[in-house]
Structure 1
Amino acid sequence: MSRTQSNMLALGTIAPEFYLKDTNSADSYFSFADIKGEKGTLVMFICNHCPFVHHVIREVVRIANDYRVQGIGVVAISSNDVNEFPQDSPELMTEFAFENNFEFPYLYDETQEVAKVYDAACTPDFYFFDNQNKLVYRGQLDDSRPGNGIPLSGSDLRGAIDGVIYNRIINPNQKPSLGCNIKWKK
Structure 2
Amino acid sequence: MARTPSNMIPLGTIAPEFYLKDTNSNNVYSFEDLKGSKGTLVIFMCNHCPFVLHVINEIVMIANDYRVQGLGIIAISSNDIIKYPEDSPELMTDFALQHKIDFPYLFDETQETAKAYEAACTPDFYLFDNQNKLFYRGQLDDSRPGNGIPLSGTDLRNAIDALIYNRILNEIQKPSIGCNIKWK
Q: TM-score range by the shorter chain?
A: over 0.9
Q: Normalized against structure 1, the TM-score is what?
A: 0.98
Match of 2:138 in 1: 139
Matched residues in 2 for 1:139 and 1:5: separation?
9
1:101 offset after TM fit, Å? 0.4
Matched residues in 2 for 1:166 and 1:150: separation?
28
1:173 offset after TM fit, Å? 1.1
Q: Which amino acid aligns with 1:181?
A: N
Match of 2:13 in 1: 13
For 1:114, what is the secondary structure of its paired residue?
helix
Deviations 1:54-98 (A, max 9, x none): 000000000000000000000100000000000000000000001
Q: Which amino acid aligns with 1:68?
A: R
User: Over aligned residues, Cα RMSD in angstroms?
Assistant: 0.5
Q: Normalized against structure 2, the TM-score is what?
A: 0.99
1:145 offset after TM fit, Å? 0.2
For 1:69, what is the secondary structure of its paired residue?
helix
Match of 2:66 in 1: 67
Match of 2:80 in 1: 81
Residues 1:58 and 2:57 aligned together: yes
**Unpaired runs of at least 5, structure 2:** none
Matched residues in 2 for 1:121 and 1:39: separation?
26
1:1-186 correspondence to structure 2 within 5 Å: 1-25=1-25, 27-185=26-184
For 2:69, what is the secondary structure of its paired residue?
coil
1:171 offset after TM fit, Å? 1.4
Matched residues in 2 for 1:81 and 1:20: separation?
15
Matched residues in 2 for 1:106 and 1:172: separation?
29
Matched residues in 1 for 2:91 and 2:180: separation?
19
Deviates more, 1:163-172 or 1:113-122: 163-172
Deviations 1:132-163 (A, max 9, x none): 11101001000000001111110000001000
1:10 offset after TM fit, Å? 0.8
Matched residues in 2 for 1:151 and 1:24: separation?
30
Matched residues in 1 for 2:45 and 2:178: separation?
9
Q: Which amino acid aligns with 2:18?
A: F
**Unpaired runs of at least 5, structure 1:** none
1:118 offset after TM fit, Å? 0.2
Q: Which amino acid aligns with 2:79?
A: N
Q: Which amino acid aligns with 1:115?
A: A
Percent identity between the two aligned chains:
75
Q: Which amino acid aligns with 1:40?
A: G
How many residue pairs were aligned?
184
